[in-house]
Amino acid sequence: DQQVKQNSPSLSVQEGRISILNCDYTNSMFDYFLWYKKYPAEGPTFLISISSIKDKNEDGRFTVFLNKSAKHLSLHIVPSQPGDSAVYFCAATISNFGNEKLTFGTGTRLTIIP
Amino acid sequence: GAGVSQTPSNKVTEKGKYVELRCDPISGHTALYWYRQSLGQGPEFLIYFQGTGAADDSGLPNDRFFAVRPEGSVSTLKIQRTERGDSAVYLCASSLNAGGSTDTQYFGPGTRLTVL
């Protein structure tokens, strides 16, 4: 069963506009959520994270929103830049200060159109 | 090097052969994870090491897969009697695991395994 879902396999956005990537989860035990960005032939790179005690975390152009009641999170990128074109993975884990294995979604390929 | 490194970057083998994939974590990182990414999927957890011990191997698909980390640094993922379904990118990640907060996992570039 897919515990973390990214229902949009791809997204195209004009440069300068806002990109919104969505993610849903089913396991209510998850309490920490992350977004990773992946370029071809490279490993995933950590982008931003959020704890379940918060509903928003912002870092520069990137903001992650968490709606626990809906089991939904989203990543906002504004303004979008050509270098943002990559595959974005949503991931979730259960914090236990030890084994924090990540459960990933299937990814969304973001293309920024110049 | 500053990041996680994995060797080889690509490995082509024949069905039934044995392969070893190596991961060099970031220096000082005590936690090490192996994930597998199949085409069109996100990475899937395989095994977690805390120091030298495999604390969680619940993601290993079957007993053909085994991993070691004898000195608490470099780890090797070993696959016996490879099958075509083992073809995937194998990713390694490490984290500081200093305790007190959730640690960021830093990923290597992966090893692309192709079983013919």
Dihedral angle of Cα B73, B78, B84, B89, to the nearest 10 degrees: 0
Residue B25 contacts A, CB cutoff 8 Å: no
Beta partners for B75? B23
Which string of DSSP letters, residue by residue, matches chain B? Answer: --S-EEE-SEEEE-TT--EEEEEEPPTT--EEEEEEE-TTS--EEEEEEETTEEEE-TT--STTEEEE-TTSS-EEEEESS--GGG-EEEEEEEE---SSSPPPPEE---EEEEE-
Q: How far is CA A73 from CA A68, A99, A104, in A?
A: 8, 23, 13
pLDDT band at residue A100 under the 50/70/90 scheme? confident
> With 90 as the cut, is the pLDDT of residue B102 above it?
no
Q: For B10-31, how does the pLDDT look when each residue is reduced to its tens digit (9 = 90+)?
A: 999 999 999 999 999 999 999 9
Of the residues A34, A87, A100, the best mutation for testing chain B's interface (the one with the most B CB atoms within 10 Å of its CB) is A100
Q: For B29-85, how does the pLDDT look when each residue is reduced to its tens digit (9 = 90+)?
A: 999 999 999 999 999 999 999 989 888 999 999 999 999 999 999 999 999 999 999
Q: For A43-80, how does the pLDDT look when each residue is reduced to its tens digit (9 = 90+)?
A: 999 999 999 999 999 999 999 999 999 999 999 999 99
Beta partners for A28? none
On chain B, the residues whose CB falls within 8 A of the CB of A102 are 33, 35, 43, 45, 105
Beta strand A10-14 with A108-113 is parallel
